[in-house]
Amino acid sequence: MIRVSATDAGSTGCPQALALKVRPSPHGRPRTGSPLQTFALGPLMAALDRVEFGGQDEDAVVEELRRTRGTFGSRSAPAHDGLVSWSVEAFRNYRAAWHAQQAAAAVPCRRPVRSEWKVVHRRDAPDHRGVRRYEQTCWGRRYQSDDGSVREIWLLGHTVPKERPPVVRAAAANVAAFGGSGTPDRVRVIVFGAASPVAEPVLEWTADEIRRRARDEVAPRLIEVVDDTARRTGGDCARCPQTSDCSALPAGDLLPHVPATGGPRRSLSVTDLRYHHDCPARYHLLMQLHIRDAGPAESLPILVGRAVDAALRDRHGAGSPTRRCSPEQPMDAAVAALPEDGRSPAARMLARHSAFCPYPDVDEDDGAARDLVVVHDERLGVVFVAAPDLLYRRSGGWVWRETKTSSRGLRRDLPLLRQFPQLALAVLMLAAGALGGEVTRSRVELEHLRPDGCALEEWNPDDPDVVAEARRIIGDLVVPLLADAAFEATPGRACGSCEVRRWCAPGARHVLRAEGPTA
């Protein structure tokens, strides 16, 4: 059997991993082994089931959600305290959005549908893929009007209502129209973001329109999903059954001194490691469950740094540029979009970059996309993922550059590899031969840009002392994360700008104590 969901149609991950995913294992999904709920929307969906199919009072459901930590008496893992708080808010928002949508609709869809909608195609004999049964599904909440003439499919997200690719919307509508008994006259697709009490209808189509779009847009994409065999390393690698045998995924024992802990394979980046080091609860809620507060605005230094990064990616992104970046280049679009007081510092930083721009003196580009560098440490059960700011070949080796912006010079009282652990991970990946080439001719660089100056630091991944230091730094971050199962909050300085403090009681209390009752 092959089962493809509407969201699969919009996937931009590894094609091979997706093609394997849509062929469900007869043994079901492997257990995560986590003592905590790992599906952020799980408690919300269970709470909505209590109201829509159990007829329970909303306040009683909220009380039960809190008391049972989202399990509602099932065998599912309990939710982290932060996820419980988030789920309560998401539940209230969903119910408010649902009531508003039904009140505004010319033909409301107030009847919840428990049975999953599936479009099923059966064959008497296996086809050229060896498949007898194809299913199209769409995960979400399902409703229909009293007379069955209109159906709604609600697509849920973690923050604000999120626009979905056209093919995903068309696939969702196709499942809603033809996946149940009978065929409605019209279908609505609604997007809901858990941080907002307002949902957004994104389409309302007739059954004929949906049928036409399914033929012209959805079917060709589903064929690609099922048949594509290309391999693209990235975040999908940790969940793919072929990870250990994938020809596109380099392997390496990056941290030989770190003991293996067992458990399911996981994907880790330096961002994951730094968040966990600052606060395990922040890592769990933000990086594992993908919930965040959409409200806090980013500071000007962060906006300037991102604009400089975006400008350099645009300048260097189209293959190997034929000339060096110049201080006289016109203002980049990312810089022009900054607030007025950020444009000048960003422009001056980019002018400083011209002293260190490696182009055009690089080896010829082979055209392969290398936005991510991924290494599988099979012994630890970790897929390490990194996104270099700049990666190019020179003299037979690889140069991995990280660019940092600030208003002041580099600190010299702490090793730079420890200040910027992404440099340490880059050293380990190059030392493991993750990119091929000659390690002896490779290097890791830190380009530090300020409005009034710049610096370039280098490390040799073939130097045993450098590699040993990098292993200590990354190991010090990896060991506590691999051993953590509770992800308790550790309030501190990071609470002030934390993206999940809104649902973290210890963090909220810390900020109140530090900044007073108006914080």
Residue 176 and residue 58 in one domain: yes
**Helices 81-104 & 42-52 angle (0-180, nearest 10):** 50
Q: Of 410, 427, 428, which Cα lies nearest the Cα of 419?
A: 410
- Where is the domain boundary, 211, 227, 243? 227
The answer to whether residue 98 sits within a structural domain is yes
- Where is the domain boundary, 193, 227, 261? 227
Q: Is the pLDDT of residue 399 over 70?
A: yes
Domain range holding 473?
311-372+386-483
Q: Is the pLDDT of residue 519 over 60?
A: no
32 pLDDT band, cuts 50/70/90, is low
Interval 294-306 mean pLDDT: 84
Q: Of 153, 179, 183, which Cα lies nearest the Cα of 168?
A: 153
- Give the pLDDT score at 170: 97
Interval 136-156 mean pLDDT: 97
Residue 214 and residue 333 in one domain: no
Interval 451-479 mean pLDDT: 97
Q: What are phi and psi of 46, to 5 degrees?
A: -65, -40
Residue 22 and residue 170 in one domain: yes
296 pLDDT band, cuts 50/70/90, is low
Q: Is the pLDDT of residue 31 over 70?
A: no
> What total number of domains does the chain contain?
2
The answer to whether residue 454 sits within a structural domain is yes
- Give the pLDDT score at 92: 98
Q: Is the pLDDT of residue 204 over 50?
A: yes
Residue 217 and residue 342 in one domain: no
Residue 341 and residue 448 in one domain: yes
Q: Is the pLDDT of residue 395 over 60?
A: yes
Interval 332-346 mean pLDDT: 94
Pairing between β-strand 397-405 and β-strand 2-5 as defined by DSSP bridges: unpaired
Interval 414-421 mean pLDDT: 95
Distance between CA atoms of 515 and 519, rounded to whole angstroms?
Answer: 6
33 pLDDT band, cuts 50/70/90, is low
Pairing between β-strand 200-206 and β-strand 186-193 as defined by DSSP bridges: antiparallel
Q: Percent of the chain beyond pLDDT 90?
A: 85
The answer to whether residue 256 sits within a structural domain is no
CATH number at residue 92: 3.90.320
371 pLDDT band, cuts 50/70/90, is confident
Q: Is the pLDDT of residue 319 over 70?
A: no
Residue 170 and residue 38 in one domain: yes
Interval 142-168 mean pLDDT: 94
Q: Is the dihedral of CA 119, 123, 127, 130 positive or negative?
A: positive
Q: Is the pLDDT of residue 233 over 70?
A: yes
Interval 201-220 mean pLDDT: 96
Distance between CA atoms of 511 and 509, rounded to whole angstroms?
Answer: 5
- Give the pLDDT score at 235: 86
**Where does 96-168 show beta strands of DSSP type E?**
111-112, 118-122, 133-137, 141-144, 150-157
The answer to whether residue 492 sits within a structural domain is no
Least confident piece of the model among 136-140, 175-179, 291-295, 375-379: 291-295
The answer to whether residue 461 sits within a structural domain is yes
DSSP 291-318: ---S-PPPPHHHHHHHHHHHHHHHHH-S
- Where is the domain boundary, 178, 195, 227? 227
Residue 200 and residue 93 in one domain: yes
The answer to whether residue 263 sits within a structural domain is no
Q: Which residue has the higher pLDDT, 371 or 279?
A: 279
Interval 501-507 mean pLDDT: 95
Residue 167 and residue 39 in one domain: yes
Q: How far does CA 362 lie from the centroid of its chain?
A: 32
Interval 382-411 mean pLDDT: 94
| Residues 6 or more apart whose Cβ sits within 8 Å of residue 271 | 287
CA torsion 70-487-160-346 (nearest 10°) is 180
The answer to whether residue 283 sits within a structural domain is no
Interval 27-48 mean pLDDT: 83
pTM (predicted TM-score): 0.94
The answer to whether residue 502 sits within a structural domain is no
Output the average pLDDT for the chain.
93
